[in-house]
Structure 1
């Protein structure tokens, strides 16, 4: 990549008739403090090295942006010096590598440097700004995952520091900064003193259980019989099955290992990081089953809304290709580290992460026109959205949170959803309890069978019944 940049800088120098590259470097040396002010961390380079780096990178960026100029420029016509790397169809591998490189947050070049290169060839800054505006409009139209440039005839290049900031504010207009709010108030939580709690299982309960059993069967003489042949009886009991029962294992733990469990809990108690806020919203498939329809919109993120009357969820059309993941991640990184307002774009990615779980969800959004998939398959798109990590900086975005509230309210009000919740809450949980009781009953019958096979309890039962009748 560095060889390409150096070669491009040499070609650009030949086109700059009124100034040489070393003169451009000298100008950048004078503007060292202005260049450094565009970066949020210290650049560990001296002034001359920084100026040469900026000159080469700015010439390369300028040459690359000229491929996006749709109008016939007043100074330059569409350039062909990078045609070996950037074809008209944008299908060459070099184009994708260059685009990903220049859109990385750490690789941003101040746009005013490109503006200065144009100024050296233009009679005035006005003409230079028009040329650069045409380039940037073409660039954003092609690169942006959203259709955001239909209402823009020009761009005021002086308002944007670099390409990533320009793309961000085309997707998230500055007017939306006041929509969300960030909660910066301190929260004081009163933690009550820990009180000694009683164990969930009292060992005395087991003793009481056995005592009641012995009282109910005095005629069986169980203790006397067990004392005669205890080994055979113990061999017949299915201890392996008993040990695998969850209820029995918990009971044994509580009886014999209560002190050890308490000690291990104290050792394992560590300071865990705060839980990350997660958007709770049903998936596209679940919403579709509940009667929600999805409709695409043309525009930025302000077009997200939910019509509860028609049960229509409106989302902006997003085009996904091999470069989209890099763009999305760097836009999130820029919003998180640079912008002080609400994280609107991050909230949007969390929304898409919440409603997309599987490739079936992607298929439904693709069929509705919300997702334009230029990747290999729907599974890759699902992995892309599910791979977006949630932000640890909690923020509220009013209009998106309102959409989430309306969607969840509509979904919860559907009778089909209520019926599924009732079945899950009462029927399925009851079946688990019944299954556990059936397992206990089967285990007791097995124990009785083992007892009878060893001691022959038929005559004893007859004796007990006859004694009861008398």
Structure 2
């Protein structure tokens, strides 16, 4: 039986990889950039696949994304001019050469094999990193005729990609593509480009922090407790964004005390809870808080379900779906908090009525107009429960289940709430009902008097 490979070529490649891996510095790199599973992509392909710009190898060369290649070339030219203004004997080739020393480290960041030569990969990374840096530097920077930004090249930005105020459709489309899991590139590549510009890796890392903070200060943030943080360092933009959503309570940083891998926690997580509409009819009140996900709780005494306020808009679906995809794909996330939060919201929101309840109670705010689109955001059929559970969410599920399982009380409250909504809350219906009853009684009396004359004794 023959192997389905070119044995000589395969042997050369394996030997080269083994030798080069031994020469590289630093700790071993585990995959951090993943292809999203088809089960998720099939639900909403546009949320995971880049639509305007490709970053990294997964979508490089696609015909529909080639429109941005000229802007990548422009970004590379500007980086080269910036380098030459400080170091006349250097140019963009020095950026590529510095990235070549990281080739195997870059390949190790991706969960799929990258079928291109090392030179092609490094030029691709250098151009993509330059594009990102130029875009980040100018994101949300006011574009005014009398105060255009000039760099070392002395030319002005004249395209919305590099000079917009963050409000035009091109910039918003790029931002959404930057936050897609399959469209990530390692942050150490961006730092390496800056290091060649500044001739210092320390200064490059400091500048990278400033650039990312500016970005995160101005892009969509789902929660009020979103806090930008670069410590500890993260692998790519989406991972840093995820960490900023949770801060010190990040699933990657959580201690053993905050999660339980054993079946009891799993059983609590699988407890199905009623929808927001049913809970409202059963007397449950919803309350929005500005706290973290660990503050999700249900008070059985006051019948109050406390949930973190979440802000939703046209960018929400891309951001939220890719945060979930990151948790599901990466083994680093012991507790898949955002996934479990999405499952919790999926139980509460089944349709636009559920969305209406949550918006009326102030749990959901934002300008996403279509209620069905909001409901679809949570209604994913592929969010299988993780083994390790967030204790707060599991405990809340258990408390709601215990409360709702008391059938007689729920049945009574549901009937009362339905009666109240149908009649008591609408006085004209009550008056109409009373009038109809009076007319019916008088009609019956009239019929009786026809057969049995009502004469005085």
Q: After TM superposition, is the score higher than 0.5?
A: yes
The answer to whether 1:293 aligns with 2:291 is no
CA distance in 1, matches of 2:150, 2:274: 48
Distance 1:26-1:365 versus aligned 2 partners, 3 A rule? same
Q: How many residues align?
A: 323
The answer to whether 1:391 aligns with 2:410 is no
Distance 1:304-1:382 versus aligned 2 partners, 3 A rule? same
Tell me the CA shift for residue 49 of structure 1. 0.6
The answer to whether 1:16 aligns with 2:83 is yes
Normalising by structure 1, we get a TM-score of 0.61
* Mapping for residues 182-193 of structure 1, pairs under 5 Å: 182-183=261-262
User: Partner residue of 2:312?
Assistant: 320
User: Partner residue of 1:176?
Assistant: 254
User: Partner residue of 1:271?
Assistant: none
User: Partner residue of 1:161?
Assistant: 235
User: Partner residue of 1:336?
Assistant: 328
CA distance in 2, matches of 1:184, 1:38: 33
* Mapping for residues 202-281 of structure 1, pairs under 5 Å: 280-281=272-273
CA distance in 2, matches of 1:7, 1:394: 47
Distance 1:13-1:106 versus aligned 2 partners, 3 A rule? same
Distance 1:421-1:307 versus aligned 2 partners, 3 A rule? closer
User: Partner residue of 2:97?
Assistant: 26
* Mapping for residues 52-451 of structure 1, pairs under 5 Å: 52-67=123-138, 81=157, 84-85=160-161, 90-122=166-198, 124-141=200-217, 142-150=219-227, 152=228, 154-156=229-231, 159-172=233-246, 173=250, 174-176=252-254, 178=256, 179-183=258-262, 280-340=272-332, 341-387=334-380, 389-391=382-384, 393-413=386-406, 415-419=408-412
CA distance in 2, matches of 1:52, 1:123: 20
CA-atom RMSD in angstroms: 3.2
User: Partner residue of 1:426?
Assistant: none
CA distance in 2, matches of 1:89, 1:345: 30
Tell me the CA shift for residue 387 of structure 1. 3.8
Of residues 51, 55, 69 in structure 2, which corresponds to 1:2?
A: 69
Question: Which blocks of at least 5 consecutive residues in structure 1 are unaligned?
Answer: 71-76, 186-276, 423-470
Tell me the CA shift for residue 372 of structure 1. 1.8
The C-alpha deviation readout for 1:242-276, integer Å capped at 9, x for no partner, is: xxxxxxxxxxxxxxxxxxxxxxxxxxxxxxxxxxx
Distance 1:160-1:54 versus aligned 2 partners, 3 A rule? same
| Secondary structure class of the residue paired with 2:298 | strand
Distance 1:366-1:382 versus aligned 2 partners, 3 A rule? same
CA distance in 2, matches of 1:5, 1:148: 35
Question: Which blocks of at least 5 consecutive residues in structure 2 are unaligned?
Answer: 1-67, 142-148, 416-457
CA distance in 1, matches of 2:200, 2:188: 14
Structure ID, larger Rg? 1
| Secondary structure class of the residue paired with 2:161 | coil
Residues 279, 351 of structure 1: 8 Å contact kept:
no
The C-alpha deviation readout for 1:302-325, integer Å capped at 9, x for no partner, is: 232223333222222222222221
Of residues 115, 124, 135 in structure 2, which corresponds to 1:44?
A: 115
The C-alpha deviation readout for 1:207-230, integer Å capped at 9, x for no partner, is: xxxxxxxxxxxxxxxxxxxxxxxx
The C-alpha deviation readout for 1:340-370, integer Å capped at 9, x for no partner, is: 4122211111001110012122122222222
The C-alpha deviation readout for 1:427-462, integer Å capped at 9, x for no partner, is: xxxxxxxxxxxxxxxxxxxxxxxxxxxxxxxxxxxx
| Secondary structure class of the residue paired with 1:176 | coil
Greater shift in the superposed pair: 343-352 or 167-176: 167-176
CA distance in 1, matches of 2:162, 2:402: 49
CA distance in 1, matches of 2:163, 2:402: 49
Residues 115, 129 of structure 1: 8 Å contact kept:
yes
Tell me the CA shift for residue 396 of structure 1. 2.8
